[in-house]
Structure 1
Amino acid sequence: MTFLPWRRRALTLALGAAALAAPALSWAQAAFPSKPLTLVVPFSAGGPTDVVSRLLGAAMGRHLGQSVVVENRVGAGGTLAAASVARAQPDGYTFLIHHNGMGTAPALYRKLPYKPLADFEYIGQVLDVPMTLVGRKDLPARDGKALLAYLKAQGDKTNIAHAGLGAVSHLCSMLLRQALGVDMTTVPYQGTAPAMNALMGGQVDLLCDQTTSTTPFIKAGSVKLYGVTTAQRLKTLPDTPTLAEQGLPGFQVVVWHGLYAPKGTPAAAVQRLTAALQAALKEPAVVARLHELGAVIPAEDKQTPAGLRDWLAEETHRYGPLIQAAGQFAD
């Protein structure tokens, strides 16, 4: 067959366009996911974020038709894990769970290797978790009001543990010190588990951490519960007053978690992950377990890319000035 020049040029352009479109078409036509996925957790195994991640990963896997492997990448307040996901192949098979640290990291770290508001695709918000203020069993104060008076009297003679720079327990300790006007000594640990062990061993006085971490120890009587950091009392701890009720009006700290994928992840993959997240958060067994841990499932409009993006922007602007004023930074 003989091609005229104009026909040859048209055929060349058509074949070129088809070649460019082929990867996108093949991705769209392929069943996603077709292999196991990796959920990266920035904190140690057994910690509160890890507990939630394993519950959520198993449930999402059921709706995705593939297993979700939880991988703990610990270090630098969660920034190592976040940076690794930001650099990961944007194919939908690697995603990140992170808490408030995504909003506080830009103010905490002078050389942050990623931009939380620019370097990720958003999947959705997972849950809100209240915080509890707990103390060693032999601390003299019998309740929250007595504790606040004790802390003001003791000043820097008292100390409060946290799970490392950038952890929500660190944020809570900063807010508590600011609200009391007391320069308590903060003691960092490499994760919630060692911080809790130090508290139960009497090596530190206080710890402010998530109900997902503290509830088992509260119920076992291993630590002394002084208050919750929510605006209202918790259904799971109905007899425990809020810190606001006991002399710290307006004091409120809630942990929230979100799911993120690398920037450039195909929209179809993000939509599939969002749908799996929303389905997982409707499973009766998941709901019951989260409620048992004191967690609150957010409204469905927050379980979306737009909902998480807007919330992260709000939290970033809320905590930035507080951290800057505290002068606590890391390289």
Structure 2
Amino acid sequence: MQKLFKLASIALAAVAATGVQAQDFPAAGKPITIVVPFTAGGPTDRVARDLADSMRKHLNNATIVIDNSAGAGSAVGIAKVARANPDGYTLLLNHIGMATVPTLYRKLSFNVANDFEYLGIINDVPMTLIGKPTLPADNYKDLVAWIGKNKGQVNLANAGVGSASHLCGLMLQSTLKMEMTPVPYKGAAPAIADLMGNQVDLLCDQTTNTTAQIESKKVKAYGVTTPKRLTTPALKNLPTLDEAGLKNFQVTVWHGLYAPKGTPAAVTKKVNEAMRLALKDPEFIRKEEQLGAVIANDDRLTPEGHKKFVQSEIATWGKVIQAAGAYAD
């Protein structure tokens, strides 16, 4: 009986401690770290920094630090958060890579489904199909004809294995049933630079990376990957790939927020509430719209909806990656 009483006392003390921790979260002077599994300056990094600026207002003006832990298609950063103390002070902001690493990398130290608390989807970022400035095709129909005439000679750039452009390229080839030669780069910037310099032929990448180049006509643009045309001034006249002829081709890059498994429910609730308030911040909305991103506004804002969505994305992209045999290990 004494042993049982002692165990019960320990359990109650642990619950009480968790309650105090959650009530005081975030503690004054203790920073929150958001791990971004990509290099600084990229689109996911920009989303994280803009979100942090807005979220901190709703988290007692806490300092929020961005930790860029890049590598292995975001697997390095994901693993870092999976191992972190589950107290709410280490979070993960990742894009579609959260749904692709389970198939791309067959040896992982973490389980996407079981090792994280899901905190909500932040946004959706459309993709654009663009080409080098000297490419002879001026529209999507002519582009497909050109690819057909140059089988085996068309280069398709991407920002590295597991990047959004890599995934979009796989989906493009699968839908077109046309193979192209992948040319991986260490990031979007060098890929776009070589595209503008006519060193590679095509690139399918996020509007966050391509809008400025499309607007300045430094590349040729063939379409966006959304069901409807975008309203962004620089892209509003660009047709969707679906209306241009590539039926049912829809690819968006989404970003979500995560905490290590076991983070107290009261803490994850606070973080989710701060995130949802940040998504209504006019300044954050303005910054996202400039990048061509669409703020999430559906059941994916909830932890339950977020996790269900990621599970469906794992199934979708798993088929694409397996069909292409595009494993990273």
**TM-score, reference length from structure 2:** 0.93
Say whether 1:62 aligns with 2:57.
yes
Partners of 2:49 and 2:10 lie apart in 1 by 45
Aligned-partner Cα distance in 1 for 2:156–2:324: 16
1:185, distance to aligned residue in structure 2 (A): 0.4
Matches within 5 A, 1:147-226: 147-226=143-222
Distance 1:293 1:95 in 2: 23
Whole-angstrom distance in 1 between the partners of 2:180 and 2:268:
44
TM-score (normalised: structure 1): 0.93
Amino acid in structure 1 at the alignment position of 2:56: G
Q: Quick check: 1:58–1:67 contact (8 Å CA) kept in 2?
A: no
Question: What secondary structure, in the 3-state scheme, does the structure 1 residue paired with 2:87 have?
Answer: coil
* Aligned partner of residue 241 in structure 2, secondary structure: coil
Following the alignment from structure 1 to structure 2, what is the Cα–Cα distance between the partners of residues 16 and 84?
30
- Residues 232, 242 of structure 1: 8 Å contact kept: yes
Stretches of structure 2 that go unaligned for 5 or more consecutive residues are none
Q: Quote how far apart the aligned CAs of 1:301 are.
A: 2.4
Whether the 8 Å contact between 1:133 and 1:208 is mirrored in structure 2 is: yes
Q: 2: distance between equivalents of 1:199 and 1:100? A: 24
Flag the structure with larger Rg: 1
The residue correspondences of 1:259-298 to structure 2 (distance < 5 A) are: 259-298=257-296
Pairing 1:234-313 to 2, within 5 Å after superposition: 234-236=230-232, 237-313=235-311
SS at match of 2:306: helix
Q: In the alignment, which residue of structure 1 is the partner of 2:20?
A: 26
Q: Which residue type is aligned with residue 122 of structure 1?
A: Y
1:36 alignment partner in structure 2: 31
Residue aligning to 2:102: 106
| Offset of residue 283 of structure 1 | 0.7
Contact (CA 8 Å) 2:18, 2:264: kept in 1 or not?
no
Aligned to 2:137: 141
Runs of 4+ aligned residues of structure 1 deviating over 4 Å after TM superposition are 8-22
Q: CA RMSD for the aligned pairs?
A: 2.0
Shift of 1:299: 1.5
> Is 1:326 aligned with 2:321?
no
Letter in 1 for 2:220: K
* Corresponding residue of 2:79: 83
Indicate if the aligned counterparts of 1:92 and 1:261 stay in contact, CA closer than 8 A.
Answer: yes
Give the number of aligned pairs.
325
User: Residue 157 of structure 1 aligns to a residue in which SS?
Assistant: coil
Structure 1: distance between partners of 2:288 and 2:6: 58
Q: Percent identity among equivalent residues?
A: 50
Instruction: Look up the SS of the partner of 2:294 in the other structure.
Output: coil
Gaps of 5+ in 1: 1-5
Over 3 Å counting, the alpha-carbon distance change for 1:326 and 1:298 in structure 2 is: same
Describe the shift of the 1:204–1:303 C-alpha distance in structure 2 as closer, same or farther (beyond 3 A): same
